[in-house]
Structure 1
Amino acid sequence: MARVISVFLPTWPTDRLRRRVDSAPSAERPLITAGRIGNRRLVIAADAGALALGLHVGMPVSKAQALAPGLLIEAANPKGDAESLERLALWVVERVSPMVAVDPPDGLVIDSTGADHLHGGEAEMIDALLGRLLMSGVTARIAIADTWGAAHALARFAADPTYLADPGQTDAALAPLPLDALRLPPAVVSGLHDLGFSAIGDFLGQPRGPLTRRFGPELWRRLDQAFGDAAEPIVPLRPEGLIEVRRTFFEPIGAAETIARYIGKLVAALCAALEERGLGARRLDLMCHRVDNRTQAVRVGLAVPQRDPARLTRLLCDKIETIAPGFGIEIMTLAATLAEPLGATQVSSLDATGPDLSGLIDVLANRVGPRGIYRMAPVASDVPERSARRVAPLAEDTGAGWPDHWPRPSRLLRTPEPIETLALLPDHPPNWIAWRGIRHRIRRADGPERIFGEWWARDAEMIAVRDYFRIENEAGERYWIFRAGDGEDAATGSHRWFLHGVFG
């Protein structure tokens, strides 16, 4: 089943102005954009601060200035807003799905069918997208549903700030929404209100003939699009200079073997184009345009630049089971949406090179998602939970090393867990600990190892310390525990005990 994400940007024009590097307006003062409609100078867009003061789109600028002293006013620039929205869409293409289009004037639409597993699920996918937008200074509301029309309506009238409609439950999700959610002309909405219609659910079961004669076909076209009874194709935005190959079929294809054969032909043509430019693909997007005006998209990523036809064909063919050809595929396009320089290399049997793991990494990453494949790299920090970070499997060595002056546990807990214990202050190890409801009597202990807080990272760590001990219980199990504080001065820590790791 198709799944579509709608991203609503309610204050996009003012957010775009706030994000300017050279001349961004003051963040403390409310901001509007103004433009002329006829002879009147009206508010075209307003930020959250202006809206909170009672300003709204369409208000005369003179009235807005009277209501909000100190109001910042910028000239409206619809062309600049549209160009920036396209750039934002291309940014989303790289991070979420290859099927992204602009939904002017204040939104994006994303066909996320089959892409959620690469992000940990639909909820995690839209939460991550929302977080990235908020960190970039862009206010957004996001909804995901079965159709473009449904997601568009839910993003604007139900998301707070996200909304996830269950698959197959479009009717229930749309029924309580107002008529404005259907993208109808204002005159049609006003006429429907005069007839007593107030919500989308009021149309369910109504005869079409009388309403069509009065309001035209647009009403039912929008309803059918929202409920999935009429197609509303998403034409994806493609960046300039994209390396892309295309195949059009005289007769639509649908068999997996046929799809695989033409994938191989497209890959060969794409690799030839990449070689001419001295590039290798880091991401491939395969678009299968069906005869029913729907598009199936497949995306694969690579750990290092590649233009080996056999490897790329194998990765794409592994995804054929996710393609639903429907009544047939009439056009297939393959694009290298992310490419990097890849020069020719001379290989010698005398060179002592390690095994090439990129092929295995590519297969695993495209099955479980790129975030599921990583390795740990050291970070220059004495604080244990900050001394390692996740990096790409084939990332270059940074040169940092692991602390070797004291042994470290093979398993470090994500966060230290509190334990109950009895110990003499300030420097003695505990006689016993109780962790997760189990009491352990200590037979051996080594320590303390004192670790100071990083005062340059957080003011709260200016004088904070931890005293770590390696302990061993009666069964020979070894743990890494610490006391928060030096055991004398309460300002250095709470003097509570925690278990932080387990030795193998």
Structure 2
Amino acid sequence: AAEQREQPAAEQRKLHAAEQPKLHAAERKRSSRAPVNPARPFVIAEASETAPCIVAVNPAAADAGLAPGMRLADARARLGSLQVRQDDPMADTAALERLAHWATRYTPSVALFKAESGTDGLFLDITGAAHLLGGEENLLADLAERLDAANLPARIAVAETPGAAWALAHFARTNRAILPAGTEANALAPLPIEALRLDPATAVTLRRLGLKRVGMLLGQHRAPFAARFEKELLLRLDRALGRAPEPLAFLTPPPAYTQIRTLLEPIDSEEAIVAVATRLMDDLVPRLETDGKGARALRLTLYRVDGAAHEIPFGLALPTRSPEHVARLLRLRLERHARSLEAGFGFETLRLSVTVVEAMAPRQRTLARSDETERTRRCTRLHDALRQRLGPQSVRHLAPVESHLPERSQISCMTPDDASSWPAFETAQPRPPLLLAHPEPANVVALVPDGPPLRIRWRGTLSTIARTQGPERIAAEWWRDGADAPTRDYYLVEDGTGRRLWLYREGIPGRETTDARWFVHGLFP
């Protein structure tokens, strides 16, 4: 305390000044916890320590003369009391993606605005989906009503092209607009040049040239614009008018078939979800039969009352059109995700989409099935049930490969092959049901030069061979890499404890090697 009293006044002022930023930081932290009052001016500013700028303003701030791009210090000097929050682009993107998943209740084709579009909205391709809600006007009204109920003010427009819809949503006089097909030029003509989603520098240059409206570009010769500006200008104009296509990066690939149902009362039980999904699959079966297709992968989307959307994807081993089989797999899937699936106040809308299809040949239904058909059907159902219980990565199936080398004769795959694809012939020597991933070296005592094994030490255990069957000679495949590999002589042996091993001697003694090596390659039960 005595030392602090002896400090010069200048040093005390220095310490006091150093404490000021900490006090301001504490004030900002306390203000960030306080709820925002929408009736007062509120802005979102950049997360910058030096001269941050305003990113967005609420209506009260806009009425007070604040606008995006203004420096935060100037805004504070103008109003004094101002509610401020820092910009969080990652949180904004995550929230927009959640809103996009919710919007798939209207159409499965939903895309986020790109950077040049402002990243403040969504594109919904409602082609072929508007009739489910009674037309475009009813769809627009339902969408606006739900957004208003969630306190999400939005401007919505329907047009033939994404560019025209974006322009009307941002610059039209009304919050809702439906543009008839073929009237894009007349509707865009009175809008400002920024409605074409141009680069800010390009828009400024056009305004300096006196081209302030989109209509001033219509009917002009294209050559001067192509020479003066980047191709972005003419491309944006052509896309807005429908002269050039505009691809959209949808949140999920559009499904091959989809069916949606909105319920009068929300549901929250597993039995009710499976029952509705079964009816949706029943509605899809006639369309699949007409096209000769079967479902290989499906996705059930559950839309909660509060706006959250849950997706439940599941795949099948073989294509199917059976609603009962789909319901059985979905029930297993729901049991596996019971903890992570929160129903909340219930699910009001369900959508079943077939994301992957395969050709499915007609099958006989009236006569009795053959034993082979019944066995294939039962194996397929078991494979699907195991995948839903254990996960798709936990179940593997063996597929044949044309090779006489044991490690090359089969591969592990995700989907089962038809049994007819396996070779019809049988080898003279048996094959072990368990093949090791890599042949393991073993110390073997055998008669020289090519006698059968008499004693073996493998994995630290020494045992005497009681019975031997073989050898079966397998040479390397001359048409593949590694054709110069040594020849193998395979033996099926049984030791004194009853353990049966499949081992081989690498190299023919006296011709390919002088010191043959032994390996264990498989196990018999």
Evaluate the alpha carbon distance shift between residue 308 and residue 446 of structure 1 in structure 2; reply closer, same or farther with a 3 A threshold.
Answer: closer
Matches within 5 A, 1:375-414: 375-390=397-412, 392-398=415-421, 400-401=423-424, 403-414=426-437
**Structure 2 partner of 1:119:** none
Deviation for aligned residue 1:316: 2.1
Task: Kindly indicate whether the alpha-carbon contact (under 8 Å) linking 1:270 and 1:334 is maintained by their aligned counterparts in 2.
Answer: no
2:312 equivalent to 1:298? yes
Q: Residue 451 and residue 270 in structure 1: after superposition, are their counterparts in 2 closer, same or farther (change >3 A)? A: same
Contact 1:484 1:494 in 2 (8 A): no
Structure 2 CA distance for aligned equivalents of residues 449 and 294 of structure 1: 63
Are residues 259 and 353 of structure 1, via their aligned partners in 2, closer, same or farther at CA, if it must alter by over 3 Å? Answer: same
What amino acid does structure 2 have at the position aligned with 1:362? D
- Greater C-alpha Rg: 2
Partner Cα distance (2:74, 2:361) in 1: 62
Q: 2: distance between equivalents of 1:481 and 1:248?
A: 63
Work out the CA distance in 2 between the residues paired with 1:498 and 1:212.
Answer: 80
Equivalent position of 1:16 in the other structure: none
User: What are the Cα deviations for residues 81-105 of structure 1, in whole angstroms up to 9, with x where unaligned?
Assistant: xxxxxxxxxxxxxxxxxxxxxxxxx
Partner secondary structure for residue 437 of structure 2: strand
Structure 1 residues 485 and 290: CA distance shift in structure 2, 3 A:
same
**Residue equivalent to 1:347:** 365
Amino acid at match of 1:431: L
In 1, Cα distance between equivalents of 2:73 and 2:480: 65
**What is the aligned counterpart of 2:288 among 258, 271, 274?**
274
Aligned counterparts, 1:159-174, within 5 A: none
Secondary structure in structure 2 of the residue aligned to 1:318? helix
Compare relative contact order (CA 8 Å, sep 6+) and give the higher one, 1 or 2: 1
| Corresponding residue number in structure 2 for 1:156 | none
In the aligned structure 2, how far is the partner of 1:500 from the partner of 1:455?
22
Correspondence for 1:486: 508
Q: Which residue of structure 1 lines up, in the alignment, with residue 332 of structure 2?
A: 318
Whether the aligned pair in 2 keeps the contact of 1:281 and 1:340 (CA below 8 Å) is yes
Give 1:473's match in structure 2, choosing from 490, 495, 502: 495
Q: Which residue of 1 aligns with 2:279?
A: 265
Shift of 1:443: 3.2
Deviation at 1:363, TM superposition (A): 2.2
2:210 maps to 1:192: no
CA distances 1:270-297 after superposition (whole Å, capped 9, x unpaired):
2243334443222211111234443211
Alignment of 1:21-36 (within 5 A): none
Structure 2 residue aligned with 1:308: 322
CA distance in 2, matches of 1:238, 1:378: 34
Summarize deviations over 1:252-277 as a string: whole Å, max 9, x none: 43333432332233222222433344
Q: Report the CA distance between 1:482 and its aligned residue.
A: 1.6
Structure 1 residues 370 and 221, CA gap change in structure 2 (3 angstroms)? closer
Identity, % of aligned pairs?
34
In the TM superposition, residue 211 of structure 1 has moved relative to its aligned partner by 10
Deviation at 1:361, TM superposition (A): 3.1
Unmatched tracts of structure 1, length 5 or more: 1-186, 196-209
- Counterpart check, 1:328 vs 2:337: no
Matched, 1:441 2:464: yes
Structure 1 residue 343 displacement after superposition? 5.4
Letter in 2 for 1:433: I
How far apart are residue 472 of structure 1 and its match? 2.7
Deviation at 1:377, TM superposition (A): 4.6
> Using the alignment, how far apart are the partners of 1:494 and 1:212 within structure 2?
88
Note closer, same or farther for the CA distance 1:344–1:499 as it changes in structure 2 (3 Å cut).
closer
Structure 1 SS opposite 2:49: helix
Whether the 8 Å CA contact 1:212–1:219 is kept in 2: the answer is no
Shift in alpha-carbon separation, 1:346–1:502, aligned structure 2, 3 A = closer
Tell me if 1:222 matches 2:89: yes
Q: Counterparts of 1:224-239 in structure 2 under 5 Å?
A: 224=91, 233-234=100-101, 237-239=251-253
Take 2:450 and 2:365, find their aligned partners in 1: how far apart are those partners?
A: 59
Question: Which of the pair is proportionally richer in helix?
Answer: 2
Mapped pair 1:495 → 2:516? yes
1:464 to 469, 478, 486: 486
Count of matched residue positions in the alignment of Structure 1 and Structure 2: 301
What is the deviation of 1:467?
2.3
For 1:419 and 1:211, how far apart are their aligned partners in 2?
79
